[in-house]
């Protein structure tokens, strides 16, 4: 039987409030649940996949119960500016000292001006499907043993690293949910995928409290 894994927090952040934790525990009775979180909020629920350089040019050390972290997500930039390079290095180092797996996410930029703030070589990116995207993973310097998010650009069915790192389920189907208790994400990270998606909806808010599969999770990229 294929396992189904539910990512809690797709278009909003899981902020580890009491109300969110109650809801996540309820979902855990039917699903294998992991939460999508940000190092700007203390960790209280797990398994959690936590972004630790959300602003690209700053490493933010996770606080709270770090034993609940199954992996840290690091946004990576090719030929990064000095502050971005330092943030990535600090993030790698912290994860290594804690023995926490690293999941690399290639940063996508919503504009040329934004891209030039963080990389010294815009030529390493190409405009594709409303973003400037990394052309080749080989242009990224990565630590040994790191995992890649959607390395082949074919969506979750060919990747599933988040499922492997949280539940060791390489054959799982990945779904997502946005909790109404989380509301809109309080953070304003550069080039935020969630905010860009929400800006194109009529209500400008996530679909709340209903499991779904988006195009990436279906593999329909």
> pLDDT tens-digit profile of 149-186?
988 888 888 999 999 999 999 889 999 999 999 998 88
pTM above 0.85, yes or no: yes
Q: Which residues pair with 176 in a beta bridge?
A: 7, 212
The span from the first CA to the last CA of the chain, in angstroms, equals 26
Question: What average pLDDT does this structure show over 5-31?
Answer: 96
Q: Flag whether pLDDT at 195 surpasses 90.
A: no
Q: Of all residues in the chain, what percent carry a pLDDT higher than 90?
A: 71
> Residue 196 is encoded by which pair of tokens?
């860009």
Give, as one character, the DSSP assignment of residue 158: G
Strand, helix or coil for residue 160 = coil
> Residue 141 is encoded by which pair of tokens?
């310097």
Which pLDDT score is estimated for 193?
A: 75
Residue found by looking up tokens 């052309």 in the block: 135
47 versus 3: the higher-pLDDT residue is 47
- Candidates 150, 149, 159, 177; CA nearest to 32 is 177
Q: What does the angle CA 137 – CA 143 – CA 145 come to, to the nearest 5 degrees?
A: 95
> Strand 69-76's sheet: what is its strand order?
147-148, 102-106, 69-76, 48-51, 32-38, 4-8, 173-177
> Can you tell me the distance from the alpha carbon of 115 to that of 84, in angstroms, rounded to the nearest whole number?
12
**CB-CB neighbours of 83 under 10 Å:** 14
DSSP H or E stretch at residue 95: helix 82-98
**Residues present in the chain in total:** 221
Q: Flag whether pLDDT at 144 surpasses 90.
A: no
Which pLDDT score is estimated for 14?
A: 96
How many Cα atoms within 13 Å fall on the side-chain side of residue 31?
Answer: 25
Kindly report, residue by residue over 34-89, the tens digit of the pLDDT. 999 999 999 999 999 999 999 999 999 999 999 999 999 999 999 999 999 999 99
Q: Give the distance, in angstroms, between the CA of residue 212 and the centroid of all CA atoms in the same chain.
A: 17
């Amino acid at each position: 039987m294929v396992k189904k894994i539910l990512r809690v927090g797709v278009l909003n952040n899981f902020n580890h409030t009491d109300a969110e934790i109650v809801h996540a525990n309820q979902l855990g009775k039917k699903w294998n649940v992991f939460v999508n979180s940000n190092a700007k909020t203390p960790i209280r629920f797990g398994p959690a996949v936590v972004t630790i350089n959300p602003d690209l040019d700053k490493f933010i050390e996770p606080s709270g119960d770090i034993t609940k972290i199954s992996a840290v997500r690091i946004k990576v930039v090719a030929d990064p500016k000095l502050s971005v390079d330092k943030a990535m290095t600090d993030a790698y180092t912290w994860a290594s000292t804690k023995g926490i797996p690293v999941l690399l996410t290639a940063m996508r930029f919503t504009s040329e001006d934004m891209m030039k703030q963080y990389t010294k070589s815009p030529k390493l990116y190409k405009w594709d499907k409303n973003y400037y995207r990394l052309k080749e993973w080989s242009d990224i310097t990565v630590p040994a043993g790191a995992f890649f998010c959607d390395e082949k650009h074919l969506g979750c069915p060919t990747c599933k690293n988040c499922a492997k790192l949280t539940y060791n389920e390489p054959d799982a189907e990945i779904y997502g949910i946005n909790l109404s208790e989380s509301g809109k994400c309080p953070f304003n990270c550069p080039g935020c995928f969630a905010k860009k998606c929400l800006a194109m909806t009529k209500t400008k808010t996530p679909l709340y409290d209903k499991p779904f599969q988006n195009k990436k999770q279906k593999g329909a990229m």
